[in-house]
Structure 1
Amino acid sequence: MFGKKKPIPQIDKEQLELIENAQKRIKQKKLLYVHFVLFLIGALFLILANTVLGIGEDFKIFEINWFVFAILLWLFFFFYHAFNVFISHKFMGKAWEKQQLEKLVAKQQARIEKLKAGFVKEETLIAQSEVYNESTTKIENLKPNAKKSKLTIIVAAAENDAIGKGNKLIWHLSDDLKRFKSLTNGHHIIMGRKTFESFPKPLPNRTHVVISRQDNYKVPDGVILVHSLKDAIDAAKTDLQPFIIGGGEIYKQAMNLADKIEITRVHENFDADAYFPKIDTSIWKETSNVFHKKDENHDYEFSFLTYERK
């Protein structure tokens, strides 16, 4: 009652039988090997006993030394032993081997069928889960408070929408640069190749996404290279507010995709070779307007304007 429980075998009866018989087969072959070694040593001993020690040197059978008959008799028993191991298959006959093989094949087939049934069940559950997740995602997207990436254009443009000349800024406004840094810090900034080349080096604490049609265009480590604005937006999808920072052609493409525009409007007209698109007030609503006067650090008056899509 209080004794130890007998261990329960983890393998079935047929497999256990196969293992036990295989162990017997190995043991039989080992014994044959030992027999062969003993035969060699014994034969050598008999020869030495007769020729060196002189044991039974006068005893002969048909004028042949007795140890020759002893060795031949022992050799006969050895061959008989070998015959039992390799020919008669005392422990594992051919019929037995075939029977065991058929049992194992049947076992494996049954396990395969069981696994197939399990896979079908698992695939069904996965499919149901994917449908559920897709439905849940759609519902989450319909929720008013669901977080969504908001694509923002940030630009400094003159009254005549001039933004640059010769791939350089036309003005230097300290507060505008500070605002650009403050808004884009920690975010993805999407730009064309020429805009990227206007930087002495990548801007710190921002992920640069550069759009170029050149397949072999080289960018520094950490900079993401893409070949279209769509791919650039996709590359920045983990960012809740990626920024489009130029140039003129990228701004044009982004106007139909952006949710927000942060523009520094410089109250002056300039000669330029790159321009910002006209802001259609039937589509965009001004939500913020902060005016800055000209002073010792700013050669022009300007305003920080925010537009959001209606």
Structure 2
Amino acid sequence: MFGKKSTKPQIDKDQLELIENAQKRIKQKKRLYVHFVIFLIGAIFLIVANTVLGIGKDLTFFGKEWFLYAILIWLFLFVYHVFNVFITNKFMGKAWEQQQLEKLVAKQQNRIEKLKEGFLKEETLIAKTEAFKETNIKNSNLTIIVAAAENNAIGKGNQLIWHLSDDLKRFKALTSEHHIIMGRKTFESFPKPLPNRTHVVITRQTNYNAPSGVIVVNNLKDAIDAAKTDKQPFIIGGGEIYKQALTFASKIELTRVHHNFEADTFFPEIDETIWKETANIFHTKDADHDYEFSFITYERK
């Protein structure tokens, strides 16, 4: 019909490749045929040149006329041409290369799949282990116990800044018969391990030499896992351990010292959108206490 363009037949990529390969093979065979014809004509010419025209008649090698060697060399080149077209191209041509490539890719893919299976198994095991630890952490009823000033100061030079007798008594009463988790510097600030408590010390040092009965771990999660048999393990310091523990703790037992102090270690600010105050007992200054303080209990909302 007028106004309509004729549609061209579509040839997909594979068909086009087959056509191109076929055209290439036809050209190769044509060149081989031409080579064969030229070889026959050339061989006849060499024989005529020597026997009829007398060209190089007296030239011989090992008792044979030179043209015989020329024909043999040319024959060798022709045989090589035949071999290249019909043998090499068939077994080492593009199709052969593609086949070998596919085999190598299949082997590599199989290896990758095996590696993936191994990684998936390992990742699953790690995930289960981490999930188990997270569950233990969440169900640990972890309690932070700390004495902090109004400006959140808790220590200087790895030592307490104040001495409050009732605070020490409260610390002893709450933590006795429990696991107490602490950093290495906090542990080393004690003259000796505290009685009636299981010490869990967190340190990055390898082969840390701790007294018998002291549990040494490398991170807070492992420390909490080490105290999983305790219904209420306590975090007792220092500053970095407190900061990490706020993510997991369910309770804070805080002694708030109503004074500001110079310090090099501080307790993190308590976020009252996460924590609610459930108890507050105020103590005034007296002969045994140089500062006013309050025992405050926070529980996670």
Offset at 1:148?
Answer: 4.5
Offset at 1:216?
Answer: 1.6
Question: 1:283 — aligned with what?
Answer: 274
Deviations 1:157-216 (A, max 9, x none): 000000000000000000000000000000000000000000000000000000000012
Question: What pairs with 1:56-205 in structure 2 (closer than 5 Å)?
Answer: 148-205=139-196
Q: Distance in 2 between matches of 1:298 and 1:207?
A: 29
Pick from 225, 230, 239 the counterpart of residue 221 of structure 2: 230
Question: 1:253 — aligned with what?
Answer: 244
2:196 counterpart SS class? coil
* Identity fraction in percent: 79
Structure 1 residues not aligned, in runs of 5+? 1-140, 142-146
Offset at 1:301?
Answer: 0.1
TM superposition score normalised by structure 2: 0.54
Deviations 1:22-55 (A, max 9, x none): xxxxxxxxxxxxxxxxxxxxxxxxxxxxxxxxxx
Question: 2:204 — aligned with what?
Answer: 213
Does structure 1 residue 268 correspond to structure 2 residue 256?
Answer: no
Preserved CA contact (<8 Å) 2:167 2:255: yes
Q: Which amino acid aligns with 1:243?
A: F
1:281 counterpart SS class? coil
Question: 2:299 — aligned with what?
Answer: 308
Question: 2:50 — aligned with what?
Answer: none
Q: Distance in 1 between matches of 2:209 and 2:241?
A: 20
Does structure 1 residue 297 correspond to structure 2 residue 293?
Answer: no
Deviations 1:93-133 (A, max 9, x none): xxxxxxxxxxxxxxxxxxxxxxxxxxxxxxxxxxxxxxxxx
Q: Distance in 1 between matches of 2:234 and 2:263?
A: 23
TM superposition score normalised by structure 1: 0.53
Structure 2 residues not aligned, in runs of 5+? 1-134
Offset at 1:217?
Answer: 1.0
Deviating above 2 A after TM superposition, structure 1's stretches of 4 or more consecutive aligned residues are: none
Q: Distance in 1 between matches of 2:225 and 2:236?
A: 16
2:216 counterpart SS class? strand
Preserved CA contact (<8 Å) 2:140 2:224: no
Deviations 1:121-156 (A, max 9, x none): xxxxxxxxxxxxxxxxxxxx9xxxxx9431000000
